Amino acid sequence: MDSIDFHTRLVQWSTMPGDLEEKEYFMSVYPAPLDVKFTTLSMLYLEGNAQQQKEVTQFFASDRCSVVPSHSAYGRFDNTLIYMRRIARCIRTAADGLPLRLGLAAAAYTEGQVETHDLLVSLAFLYHTAVRAGIDPVPSFESVAVTAGPQAHEALGAFLHCEAVTARRIVHHYEGTC
């Protein structure tokens, strides 16, 4: 995507409905404005080139962004983890590869802003629902890992040789269904 289109979409994203500081996001009905906002940013990340993906990560992580100086997306990073779990619920059939990639893109642009443990748990939700839907998640994890910074790359890489039963156990533990 050309630079002008990319930056225009990034600026437009910051004006979309959905408060990154939303405290009740986890309990809101899907799709909430914040779901749409995260999906849009994840799509921009996936469509961007390597430099643009770095700019999305920088844009999302800083309160003063050099990419678009008058705008930033600095906010509650735990809402990104919640988004990953919410989008995982949209993975129901083998045709639902896009929600998987959107969730993985969200993992990539949270680079260094979330606890690794929390990121791994949210990735387990994506992995588990993909396997349950009949999707081999490994190629998607691999393709996004290549674009991610060190923390997200390592977390995504942890699932490249994961057994489905391990991801299921993690999900069941955090859902309270052990």
R_g of the chain, CA atoms, integer Å: 15
Among the residue ranges 7-21, 41-55, 59-73, 134-148, the one predicted with the least confidence is 59-73
Helices (H), 89-163: 97-109, 116-133, 138-147, 150-157
pLDDT average, residue stretch 3-20: 90
Summary mean pLDDT of the chain: 90
**pLDDT tens for each residue of 37-75:** 999 999 999 999 999 999 999 887 765 444 544 544 555
Q: Cβ(140)–Cβ(100) under 8 Å?
A: yes
pTM, entire model:
0.91
- Answer yes or no: is pLDDT of 28 > 80: yes
* Termini Cα distance of the chain: 45
